[in-house]
């Protein structure tokens, strides 16, 4: 089955298919980012990859192009899994959304945007999913420190009056508790 997929993709998209790797019996195809939607459509309709298991981003950091997006696909009938991969430049990390092919891609793409700042064009609801809306950074990028940037997310203030250790004493002094 895996060979069949490889041959079918090769013959249908000879120009868009850039690289094929096989590691531990898992196939990964690297494709051009402009063609990702057509290739997804082809994989779903012709080859039966009906389940989009996962979409995730990765940061290649000191290599060019910097970002990659990995599509983890599955064919429920034959139980075969393949991966699609797309490379993106740091300057313009935009690529077409595949939400029209697999509705499941909705939240996966939002998560990838939240973590890496990769924008999926034509996504209906491109918001952050985990971090607050006003958070400025993209935390899964390699340059972002693990402990975060101090003060980037506000914390509620400590209320001194809330301490009830000496509530009675303060009450006697005429303070409101």
Partner 1 sequence: MARQKIYALLEDRDATLTFEEDDPLEQTMVLNMGPQHPATHGVLRVVLKLDGERVVHAVPELGYLHRAMEKLAENKSYHEFMPYTDRLDYMSPYSNNTALCLAVEKLAEIEVPERATYIRTIACELARISSHLLSIGALVMDTGALSVFLWTFQEREKIYDIFDLLTGARFTISHCRVGGIASDLSKECAELIIRWLKQFKPKIQEWRKLLDRNRIFIERLEGVGVISKEDAIAIGLSGPNLRASGVHYDIRRDEPYLAYNDLDFEIPTFENGDSYARYQMRMLEMEESVKIIEQALRKLPKGEVRNEDAKKTFPWKDEIYHSMESLIHDFMMTDSGIQMPKGEIYHAIEAPKGELGFYIQSRGEGVPWRLKIRSPSFCNLQALPKLVEGGMIADVVIIIGSLDPVMGEADK
Partner 2 sequence: MSGQQGMGDGFLTTTLDAITNWGRANSIWPMPMGLSCCAIEMMAMAGPRYDIARFGAEVFRFSPRQSDLMIVAGTVTYKMATVVKKIWDQMPEPKWCIAMGACSSSGGMFRSYPVVQGIDQFLPVDVYVPGCPPRPDAVIHAVMEIQEKIKRQKDSFQDSFLAEDDAPQVRQPESPKEKEKLTVSE
Q: Does 90 bind partner 1 (CB under 8 A)?
A: no
Residue 115: partners with Cβ closer than 8 Å, 6 or more residues away:
57, 130, 138, 139, 140
Closest distance to partner 2 from the beta carbon of 55 (Å): 21
Q: Does 146 bind partner 1 (CB under 8 A)?
A: yes
> What is the distance between the alpha carbons of residues 52 and 73, in angstroms, rounded to a whole number?
5
Backbone angles phi, psi at 167, to 5 degrees: -60, -45
Closest CA to 141 of 110, 118, 171, 175: 118
Backbone angles phi, psi at 48, to 5 degrees: 75, 25
Q: Does 100 bind partner 2 (CB under 8 A)?
A: no
Q: Name the one range near partner 2 by CB under 8 A: 1-9, 60-68, 97-105, 161-169.
A: 161-169
Structural contact between residues 53 and 70, judged by C-beta atoms closer than 8 angstroms: no
| Partner whose binding site includes residue 129, from partner 1, partner 2, none (CB under 5 to 8 Å by kind) | partner 1
Member of 3, 14, 24, 64 binding partner 1 (CB under 8 A): 24
Q: Does 107 bind partner 2 (CB under 8 A)?
A: no
Measured from the CB atom, the residue of 49 and 113 that comes closer to partner 2 is 113
Measured from the CB atom, the residue of 4 and 142 that comes closer to partner 2 is 142
Q: Which helix (H) or strand (E) element contains residue 154?
A: none
**Footprint on this chain of partner 2 (rule: CB under 8 A):** 130-132, 139, 144-149, 152-159, 162-165, 167-169, 171-174, 176-177
């Amino acid at each position: 089955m895996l060979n069949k997929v490889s041959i079918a993709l090769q013959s249908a998209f000879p120009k868009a298919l850039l690289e094929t790797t096989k590691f531990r019996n898992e196939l990964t195809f690297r494709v051009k980012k402009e063609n990702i939607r057509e290739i997804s459509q082809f994989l779903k309709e012709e080859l039966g990859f009906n389940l989009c298991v996962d979409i995730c981003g990765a940061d290649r950091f000191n290599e060019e192009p910097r970002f990659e997006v990995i599509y983890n696909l599955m064919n429920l009938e034959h139980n075969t899994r393949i991966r699609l991969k797309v490379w993106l430049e740091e300057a313009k990390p935009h690529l077409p959304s595949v939400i029209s092919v697999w509705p499941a891609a909705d939240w996966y793409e939002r998560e990838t945007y939240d973590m890496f700042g990769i924008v999926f064009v034509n996504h209906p609801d491109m918001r952050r999913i985990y971090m607050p809306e006003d958070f400025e950074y993209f935390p899964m990028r390699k340059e972002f420190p693990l402990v975060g940037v101090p003060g980037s997310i506000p914390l509620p203030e400590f209320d001194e009056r809330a301490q009830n250790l000496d509530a009675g004493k303060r009450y006697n002094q005429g303070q409101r508790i």
